[in-house]
Structure 1
Amino acid sequence: MLRLDRIVTRGGDTGETSLADGSRLPKNHPRIQVLGALDETNTAIGALRVTCADRPEIDALLARIQNDLFDLGADLATPGTARRGPALTEEYLAKLDEAAGNLNETIEPLRSFVLPGGTEAAARAHLARTIARRAERDLVALAADEPISPIHVRYLNRLSDVMFILARHLNDNGRADVLWMPGGG
């Protein structure tokens, strides 16, 4: 288990931060941007979990996703070296695909584009979806300059899909979705 004795290290006071291998990067480096967006995604999912505490199957899905995001972050925080612990695999993608399929079976077919909103839980799922999309864009930008596992991009793409489907599920299986009305309705 990881043990952190000190949180305030002052190591980042000069605008740099350390990676797991001890190397340092400026805080605006594309790799650090991705790690920050993953942290924001994870935090948004944590806020969503608060509203889903009475739904054990959804809470369990979200808890697994939060741990997956830490695994993804650990992969990215250890560039060019093998890290200890699990790296993202096809199994992670299969679990997201299964969750998407299970949730999708219960929701109404789309009749229009969906605006973020509806229930509080659905709105939080939409927020997590958009942050996951930003993390995906940041990761694609990093992948243009550095070798990145294609599973990482695929995972974030699937995650945002799952968050969209979950938002619809949390909106009374799509019946309480807020639909786009061209021209403002």
Structure 2
Amino acid sequence: MKIYTRTGDRGETSLAYGKRVPKNSLRVEGYGTVDEANSAIGVIMAALPNEEWTQPLVLELKQIQTKLFHIGSELATPADKTVHWPAKEEDVQFLETAIDWKDQQLTPLQQFILPGGHLAAAYTHLARTIVRRAERCATSVAMEEPLNPIVVRYLNRLSDYLFVLARYINQQIGVAEPVLHQE
């Protein structure tokens, strides 16, 4: 089987179940941005040091990557078709539990922090901003046609998770968080 099909050479692509849409449609923009976020999470894992404390993070991030794949599939499925792996409340709860645990390990925020610090933390901030864009795309889809509301909630919570994760990574590695300097 060849990797290229030539079916998209005229600016169209297929959603799940074969419906053809322009490549700049809201759904395609949504699942494409989710895919970009998923790739950025892979970069985070590659940048993490190979230490004992990172192993649970890698397992969490792999679970998140799987859920992002499912959310991409949900965005790629026309509103009148069956979604095979819908986002569920328990997916949001998984993120909230992870956020709460990490947040308890962190010193309270005293000022605005800037993206950066250790390379893995900087990549985590980059992934966070991509997830925010994916959330905006999913919101646009939901405004135009039916979409599982948990998709938007999950992406919203995922960006929160990534913010806390970046702080946690910097703290665990012992790298100071860059802070906003008041001028």
- For 1:64, the equivalent position in structure 2 comes to 63
For residues 117-152 of structure 1, the C-alpha deviation after alignment (integer angstroms, 9 at most, x for no partner) is 011011000000000000001111121111111100
CA contact (8 A) 2:75 2:138 kept: no
- For 1:30, the equivalent position in structure 2 comes to 26
Residues in 1 aligned to 2:21 and 2:168: alpha-carbon distance in whole angstroms: 40
Unpaired stretches in structure 2, ≥5 consecutive residues: none
Higher helix share: 2
Q: 2:17 aligns with which of 18, 21, 41?
A: 21
Residues in 2 aligned to 1:70 and 1:59: alpha-carbon distance in whole angstroms: 16
Residues in 2 aligned to 1:83 and 1:65: alpha-carbon distance in whole angstroms: 18
SS of 1:48's equivalent in the other structure is helix
- For 1:93, the equivalent position in structure 2 comes to 92
Q: 1:39 aligns with which of 25, 30, 35?
A: 35
Task: Please provide the CA RMSD for this pair.
Answer: 1.4
Look up the equivalent residue of 1:48 and give its one-letter code.
Answer: I
- For 1:169, the equivalent position in structure 2 comes to 168
Q: TM-score, normalised by structure 2?
A: 0.93
CA contact (8 A) 2:31 2:73 kept: no
Runs of 4+ that moved beyond 2 A: none
Q: How many residues align?
A: 178
CA contact (8 A) 1:108 1:175 kept: no
CA contact (8 A) 2:95 2:157 kept: yes
